Amino acid sequence: MGMARFTDKVVVVTGAASGIGEGAARRFAAEGASLVLNDRNAEGLEALAASLSGTPVETVAGDVSRMADCEAIVARALERFGRLDVLVNNAGVDHLGKLDEGDFSAFTTVIESDVYGVVQMSRAAIAPLRAARGSIVNVSSVSGLGGDWNHSFYCAAKGAVTNFTRALSLDEAKHGVRVNAVNPSLTYTGLTAGMQEQPDLIAEFETRIPMGRGAQPDDIAGPIAFLASEDARFVTGVNLAVDGGLSASNGQPPLR
């Protein structure tokens, strides 16, 4: 890779114990960042931290759906490192199902994690981010750019993240804080494990992605790092589809 764009920078990554969050944490570590990593999975966090030899790392187990936990993550960053340059809002949960299926409490769970978590972490971090003229990168989804079958709760949440990204970027530009999002399509992580157990479903998804496959976490980590870096210093308010071309085709399957 050979880049060290985040030397002397402090990066918070939520949902860092696996998947896209883990990939992002490893990418920032490789580029010289000091890290504050959050997840509900304390053991997974510790395992990740132990594997990042040579990288200054703090771990904060907690749930971003709770404001107090968000404030604790930021407090740890400031206590240990004295600043905060980048916030990656990655933590979230998925939900598959029809509107009238299952227990409606699932909707509350998705909104609290995927929307409240992003808004609360951003609010907790905004003062030190302004001081550092830093940036926020939200992990939204192509489900926040258009609709998906059998996915209405998740689409509602990610649609909110997409437009929150735009609106917050307008308010924070004058403070020097950039706010962007990545919008992945199918990514092979623990979050999509249930889908991956259905080969026919995965195959159907993959036929609709022009590049013919889903993403690996590293495929998303690179664009996250770009948006957080000085290379993107004139980029704000962007929802960047990282989807193998899916949104370019409006999700239409290829002509046979």
Looking at per-residue confidence, does 251 or 42 come out higher? 42
Mean pLDDT across the stretch 173-200? 85
Give the residue numbers marked as catalytic. Answer: 154
Contact indicator for 226, 179 with CB cutoff of 8 Å = no
The tens digit of pLDDT for each residue in 62-100 reads 999 999 999 999 999 999 999 999 999 999 999 989 999
**DSSP assignment string, 134-157:** -EEEEE--GGGTS--TTBHHHHHH
Quickly state the pLDDT bin for 256 (edges 50, 70, 90): low
Amino acid identity of 232?
A
Report strand pairing: 86-89 vs 135-139.
Answer: parallel
Neighbour count for residue 32 (Cβ, 10 Å): 15
Q: pTM here?
A: 0.95
Alpha-carbon span 107 to 15, nearest angstrom: 19
Percent of the chain with pLDDT over 70: 97
Determine the pLDDT at residue 193.
Answer: 65
Determine the pLDDT at residue 105.
Answer: 97
Alpha-carbon span 51 to 63, nearest angstrom: 23
Alpha-carbon span 30 to 5, nearest angstrom: 10
Determine the pLDDT at residue 67.
Answer: 98
In the chain, the domains with their CATH numbers are 10-243 (3.40.50.720)
